[in-house]
Amino acid sequence: MEPAPRHDDPPSPPAHVAIIMDGNGRWARERHLPRIAGHKRGAETLRKVLIAAGELGIAYLTVYGFSSENWRRPADEVDELMSLLRHYLCSELAELHANGVRVRVIGDRGRLHKDIIALVEDAERQTQDNTVLHFTLALSYGSRHEIVEAVRRFAQQAATGDLDPENISEEDFTAHLSTAGIPDPDLVIRTSGEMRLSNFLLWQSAYAELVFTEKLWPDFCKQDLTDAISEFRQRERRYGATGV
Ligand code: FPP
């Protein structure tokens, strides 16, 4: 049996932290650099934040790497982001695996280049038994698309008589999302001062605490993550019930 937590034990971290990594473009503009320079620095930040998350005892880290709406950016920027992603998946995999990180990718893979899909599948396969930190990268991801896909599958099962719509529960719905098996985020952080979810984990974040920071993503560091967790701890999570 697990020992009961002692009064003076350090408070446990949120199990699942999700991050909207925003502000790469502004970081680059402030330095008169091309936008891709901001994304490259952002990729370095992601590497450091993954290490910090492990050190802080976070079990699940999910980040918004590329949204379904990001395909509307100029072709040059999309190509550069895809090259960066390719490079990231190749260069980071060995270290992630060595550190016990399980990598998962959520989003509409059909829109990704074939070679990127192969890299993603390889990363998922190689790390599938790791348990130290569950890292989920949202790529070509949009929550509304994910929800519509789940509804489509329910509708198909209902049409063939394999499902009685009366029996659909919230748990069934959760199990039909791309995040099936991953607990809901406790804390969602967005950098760069923007205060919206931008189609990220809409269903899953129903009861998440939201923390917004002015820091641009390339400047985000372990201390900022620690500060966000401190702010999370000060919130009273009531899940719709009354406080004590
Ligand atoms: C938002 O900044 C960020 C993105 C659209 C891409 C996020 C990508 C990274 C952090 C690079 C590393 C990730 C991978 C998957 C390799 P923005 O461009 O919208 O910034 P702005 O709002 O200041 O213009």
Task: For 98-153, write each residue's pLDDT tens digit.
Answer: 999 999 999 999 999 999 999 999 999 999 999 999 999 999 999 999 999 999 99
> How many angstroms separate the CA atoms of 61 and 205, rounded?
13
Cα 48 to Cα 104: distance, rounded to the nearest angstrom: 18
Cα–Cα distance, 111 to 140 (Å, whole number): 7
Q: Are 3 and 47 in contact (CB under 8 A)?
A: no
pLDDT value at position 1?
46
| Residues near 89 by beta carbon (within 8 Å), at least 6 away in sequence | 116, 119, 120, 123
- Which tokens sit at 34? 């091309």
Instruction: Report the distance separating Cα 137 and Cα 122, nearest Å.
Output: 14
The per-residue pLDDT for 109 is 95
78, pLDDT greater than 60: yes
- Return d(Cα 178, Cα 209) in angstroms, integer: 21
Q: In this structure, which long-range contacts are made by residues 71-74, counting pairs with CB atoms below 8 Å and at least 24 apart in sequence?
A: 71/111, 71/140
Which numbered atom of ligand 1 lies nearest the CA of 45? 10
Q: How does residue 240 score in pLDDT terms, banded at 50, 70 and 90?
A: confident
User: Average pLDDT, whole number, for the chain?
Assistant: 94
Q: Does domain 16-233 have CATH number 3.40.1180.10?
A: yes
Kindly give the distance from the C-alpha atom of residue 58 to the centroid of ligand 1, in angstroms, as a whole number: 22
Atom in ligand 1 nearest the alpha carbon of residue 139: 15
Asked if 71 and 140 count as a contact pair (C-beta separation under 8 A), the reply is yes
Distance 22 CA to ligand 1 centre (A): 6
Provide, rounded to the nearest whole percent, the portion of the chain with pLDDT above 70.
Answer: 95
